[in-house]
Amino acid sequence: MKILHYSLGLPPYRTGGLTKYSIDLMMSQLKAGHSVNLLYPGQLDPIIKKTKIKSNNSYNGVLIFELINPLPVPLLGGITNPFIFMEKLKEQNAYYNFLSKLQPDIIHFHTLMGIHYEFLILAKKMGVKLIFSSHDYYGICPKVNLIDHNGNVCTDYNKGLKCETCNLNSYSLPLIYLMQSHLYKSLKNNKIISKLKSNKKQRIKENNIRSSKENKHNQKQVSNGENFIQLRNYYLNMLNKMDKIHFNSEVTKQVYEQHLMIKSDVISITHSDIKDNRVLKKYDMKIPLQIGFLGPIDKYKGFPLLRNSLLNLLEEDEDNWHLHVYGNAENITLDKDIEHITFYGKYEYKDLTNIFNKIDILVIPSIWKETFGFIGLEALSHGVPAIVSSYVGFKDLVKHNSTGLIVDPVEEQLSAAIKYVIHNRNEIKIWNSNICSGNFNSIMKDHHLLIEGLYDSVLGEKK
């Protein structure tokens, strides 16, 4: 089978779960004997302006193609001018010549960023089957995660007006151009560039808070909502061109199906570093419950929710616990919980075994509709039970009251769940045992066969 993946690119230029998953899937497909290729949105050349595709050096046997002058790629930075992100392709020769020469059986999209709508129309006309994997909510939400400027889940984008408010402080077009340039590839990990990006994100956060307060006081409505409606429709039309959508969780499926109806399959994702490291653990009532939180301590990830839930327990004199926080090292002033929380700062993947050996239970308290959540799978692969927000896609792999707990992301439920496990260590021991004795089907070599089955279902025959 000849497979063309469309993704954001390769490390170190692009990182994150989407990039990790797409690369690991390609490597597994290559080992299985398939012809595997990657097309990614590359640099924007304001001088040439012409869209073209050039061949780059191969990556471990995968043929790599760069799309020159794609549509802008906002990443997590948001969109200020919707029209620039849906400009019509002036000429189709680049896409037609590329597809005619490559002749893929299937194109697997991992994102819609940077690609023109005309590319999908042309591929369909040429009889190529199209699959889309949902890694985030780009296309429905310009900011990717469906979290509004107040840090809450967006449930009503108010005919595009809310999108306008949320994207007021987005990346400028020159910054997006820089982040798509070849120069950025070599400078991305430079300390100065990293500091500038960090400062920009902080300014966006502060401006969003200020904009939110101004809107509350002035009740001022912006008038550009129609443009964001057009942008959403632009991407929904793309999604409707897919022969099938691969949702990585039921959570993601439910969000997307509010906007479109299309053939879909739910297949939990994984990556190549996931191994079966499950071990039976000891749980001792005499020592504090060792709770783990891994990831950014931002509101959308639920850290403030978790902390407040634990503070509630201290008010009830429930103090037989200790929270271990691994992730970004922002300074937080602790209060009554100063002896109950330890911050370790950033961690690397190689540290996970030691981390999971230290904790009894992982808490994933996200308040956003998290499409999957690799950290939950990584805990599961080490035999560690989890208390998971019902908004987290990873909950598909959690059996409530059997391998962990699923709770709504509210303080009362999270406090009650943690209190329960504090007093029921034997229950956690059973969950750990159930995890270790159950099937573990989250290895990439098994996963790629499920994806291959998805391909076969749209191709209509075994390749």
pLDDT over threshold 80, residue 199: no
Integer CA distances (angstroms), 16 to 87, 136, 194, 333, 373, in order: 27, 12, 16, 29, 12
What DSSP string describes 334-394?
Answer: -STTTTTEEEEE---GGGHHHHHHH-SEEEE---S-BS--HHHHHHHTTT--EEEETTBGG
Rounded-to-integer distance, Cα 339 and Cα 320, Å: 11
The CA radius of gyration of the chain, in Å to the nearest whole number, is 23
CATH, range 289-437 = 3.40.50.2000
Strand partners, 148: none
Going by C-alpha positions, the residue among 324, 444, 289 that lies closest to residue 381 is 444
Mean pLDDT of 226-245: 95
Cβ 240 vs Cβ 260: under 8 Å? yes
Q: What is the pLDDT of residues 277-331, one digit of tens each?
A: 999 999 988 899 999 999 999 999 999 999 999 999 999 999 999 999 998 767 7
pLDDT over threshold 80, residue 222: no
Residue ranges matching CATH 3.40.50.2000 in the chain: 2-272+445-459, 289-437
Rounded-to-integer distance, Cα 325 and Cα 358, Å: 12
Strands in 244-247's sheet, in edge-to-edge order, are 52-59, 62-68, 35-41, 2-6, 106-109, 129-134, 244-247, 264-266
Query: What is the predicted pLDDT for the residue at 150?
Result: 85
Q: Which residues contact 344 (CB under 8 A, 6 or more apart)?
A: 324, 325, 326
Neighbours of 152 (CB within 10 A): 13
Q: What is the pTM of this model?
A: 0.91
Rounded-to-integer distance, Cα 263 and Cα 48, Å: 40
Rounded-to-integer distance, Cα 342 and Cα 358, Å: 13
Identify the band that residue 221 occupies on the pLDDT scale cut at 50, 70 and 90. Answer: very low
Q: What is the pLDDT of residues 61-83, one digit of tens each?
A: 999 999 999 999 999 999 989 99
Mean pLDDT of 441-452: 92
CATH of 2-272+445-459, one of 3.40.50.2000, 3.30.1490.20, 3.30.950.10, 3.40.640.10: 3.40.50.2000
**354-383 residues labelled b (16+ CB within 10 A) or e (exposed):** ebbeebbbbbbbbbbbbbbbbbbbbbbbbb
Rounded-to-integer distance, Cα 390 and Cα 387, Å: 10
Residue 242, token pair as written in the block: 């897919």
Mean per-residue pLDDT over the chain, rounded: 90
Q: What is the pLDDT of residues 331-390, one digit of tens each?
A: 788 899 999 999 999 999 999 999 999 999 999 999 999 999 999 999 999 999 999 999
**Degrees to nearest 5, angle at CA 65 with 191 and 100:** 165
Mean pLDDT of 437-445: 91
